[in-house]
Amino acid sequence: MAATSGTDTSDFPTEGVGITIQFVVGNLERSRAYYRDVLGATETGEYGDGSVLLQFQGTVLLLVTGGSPTPDRPDVTFRPPADIEHVSLQLTIQVPDCRRAYQVLTARGAAFLAPPVEYEEEVRAFFRDPDGHLLEISESTREAVPGPAVRGE
C-alpha cells in the first residue's frame, strides 16, 4: 500500500510495535497500590519523574501524574478525569468467569457500579479506579470468540 505522498505505508505496524495504556492519576502512590494490589498488576519500574510502569497480562500500563503541554504535544494538558460520568476511554479486561472475578476484585477493594449483569453474549460488570477511570470485566458467553468483543454500548 502506498500513500499519496509516495511513502510506502505497508511497513507499519511491524514486529516490535506495541501499545501502552497510559492513565493520568491524581495520586501516584494510591494508584500504584490499586493497580498492583487490587488488579494484580506487576510493577516493572518507573519512567521519568512521577510515572510507574506496570505489566498486566501482557499489557503495559503507565501511570502518570498530570502535566502541562510539552513541545511534542503543545496544546495538551494531562490531568485525571474531570467528569467521571462521561467516558471517552475504558479498559475492558476479558475474564473466563465474570462472577468469580467480581468476587475476587471486590474482596481486594474494587468498588463496582453494580453486580455482574448477564446479556445475550456476555456477562459484565463495571468499576472505577481511584481517579474515576472506568474499568470493565467481561466474560463472553458465545461459543467461539475470535478476539475481544467490539460494541458501542
The strand pairing partners of 46, in sequence order, are 52
For position 88, what pLDDT does the model report?
87
pTM: 0.82
CATH code of residue 36: 3.10.180.10
Has residue 2 been placed in a domain? no
For position 2, what pLDDT does the model report?
47
Do both 86 and 152 map to the same domain? Answer: yes
State the CB neighbour count (10 A cutoff) for residue 33: 13
The residue range of the domain holding 124 is 81-153
pLDDT at 6 exceeding the cut of 90:
no
Average pLDDT of the chain?
89
Kindly state the helix (H) or strand (E) to which residue 21 belongs, with its residue range. strand 20-25
Do both 89 and 141 map to the same domain? Answer: yes
Please count the structural domains in the chain. 2
For position 18, what pLDDT does the model report?
86
For residue 118, CA distances in Å to 31, 89, 124, 129 come to 29, 22, 7, 23
For position 14, what pLDDT does the model report?
82
Span 65-120, pLDDT tens digits: 989 999 999 999 999 999 999 998 899 999 999 999 999 999 999 999 999 999 99
Do both 62 and 121 map to the same domain? Answer: no
Within 13 Å and on the Cβ side, how many CA atoms surround 43? 16
Kindly state the helix (H) or strand (E) to which residue 43 belongs, with its residue range. strand 42-46
